[in-house]
Amino acid sequence: MSDLVSGASAAVRAADVLLRAMGGRTAMLRMPAPAVAADVTEQLGIATPMFQDLPLRPVVYRKARATVAEGKAAKWEMLVSASVIENLVGSLTYASASVLFAAAFGVLSDDELLEIVSATEEQVFGQPYVYRLVLRAPLEQMV
């Protein structure tokens, strides 16, 4: 059993190294933050929603394999290390990475907010070592 655990942790470390070697960048996961009420809005019973941007590093982008139809947003795949995601899941007390991604508003990359279309994980010995997020820009931002 310890061989499986050490094999899984070795895969996570190898994924971290490979993502950094492939030009690993930093992206920000935009999450909801607790609302902070101002005096006027609190009197009306409305609290202003706030966001927190959490760093994801290392990440690597690549064009999604699917072809893009006319008038549809281009899709990108973002590969992110499982160690970063597991740390976020634990520190934010989410049940799993899928719940974390479902709660996120998107991924902020180069001042552009990209929508998370889907999130999948790649596993070795039953443990995730990398997450694949399919991202797209909102249609109203397309030219």
In 22-138, alpha helices (H): 39-44, 82-91, 97-103
User: Tens digits of per-residue pLDDT, 10-44?
Assistant: 888 888 888 888 877 899 999 988 655 555 555 66
Q: How many residues does the chain have?
A: 143
How large is the C-alpha radius of gyration of the chain? 18
Q: Where are the beta strands (DSSP E) in 2-111?
A: 25-36, 48-63, 75-81, 106-109
What pLDDT band is residue 3 in, cutting at 50, 70 and 90? low
How many domains, in total, are found in the chain?
Answer: 1
Instruction: Give which of 5, 6, 142 is closest to 74, Cα–Cα.
Output: 142
What pLDDT band is residue 93 in, cutting at 50, 70 and 90? confident
Instruction: Give which of 86, 96, 102, 82 is closest to 14, Cα–Cα.
Output: 82
Q: Rounded mean pLDDT of the chain?
A: 82
> 103 is in which domain, residue-wise?
2-141
